[in-house]
C-alpha cells in the first residue's frame, strides 16, 4: 500500500489509495483531502495549474509503488521521466477525475518548464 510522506508543510501526513476510494480515515488524511479538493477547484475556476505541494499530495496518493516516477515526484518535487505515463496508466475511476486532470496539467507544464530550463517547475 502506498503511504508516501508528502508535503513538508504537513509533516508526517500520508494519504493512501484506499482513502481515494473510501474517503479519508485520519485527521491528517482529511486535511490533505480538503487541500486537494480546494486547490483543484480553484485551479479549474481560474484556469491555472495547481501548486507543487498539491501535485505532490496527489502523486503520493496514486503512485504505483516504491521508486515509481510519481512516487519520486511526491518525495522530491522533481518531475522525472515516466510520471505522465504512470498517471495515464492508472485505471479510470481509481482517482477523482478533477485530480487526474489537475495533476496531468501540472506534470505537463512542469516537464516543459524543466526542459526549457526556466526553473519555474
| 22-46 confidence digits (pLDDT tens) | 666 778 778 888 888 899 999 989 9
> DSSP labels for 31-63?
HHHHHHHHHHHHHHHHT-PPPHHHHHHHHHHH-
| Residue 85 predicted with pLDDT over 70 | yes
Instruction: Decide which of 115 and 96 is more confident.
Output: 96
Nearest to 57 by CA among 79, 76, 74, 82: 74
- Going by pLDDT thresholds of 50, 70 and 90, the confidence category of residue 1 is very low
d(CA 22, CA 20) in angstroms, rounded, equals 6
pLDDT of residue 8: 44
pTM of the complete model: 0.76
- CB burial of residue 53 (10 Å; 0-12, 13-18, 19+): middle
> In this predicted model, what pLDDT tens digit does every residue of 35-77 receive, in sequence order?
888 999 999 899 999 999 999 989 988 888 888 999 999 999 9
Amino acid at each position: 500500500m502506498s503511504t508516501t510522506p508528502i508535503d513538508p508543510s504537513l509533516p508526517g501526513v500520508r494519504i493512501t489509495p484506499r482513502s481515494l476510494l473510501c474517503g479519508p480515515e485520519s485527521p491528517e488524511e482529511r486535511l490533505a483531502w480538503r487541500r486537494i479538493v480546494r486547490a483543484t477547484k480553484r485551479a479549474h475556476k481560474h484556469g491555472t495549474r495547481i501548486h507543487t505541494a498539491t501535485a505532490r499530495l496527489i502523486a503520493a496518493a496514486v503512485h504505483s509503488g516504491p521508486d515509481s516516477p510519481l512516487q519520486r515526484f511526491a518525495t522530491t518535487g522533481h518531475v522525472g521521466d515516466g510520471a505522465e505515463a504512470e498517471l495515464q496508466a492508472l485505471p479510470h475511476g481509481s482517482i477523482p477525475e478533477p485530480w487526474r486532470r489537475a495533476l496531468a496539467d501540472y506534470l505537463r507544464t512542469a516537464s516543459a518548464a524543466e526542459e526549457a530550463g526556466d526553473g519555474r517547475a
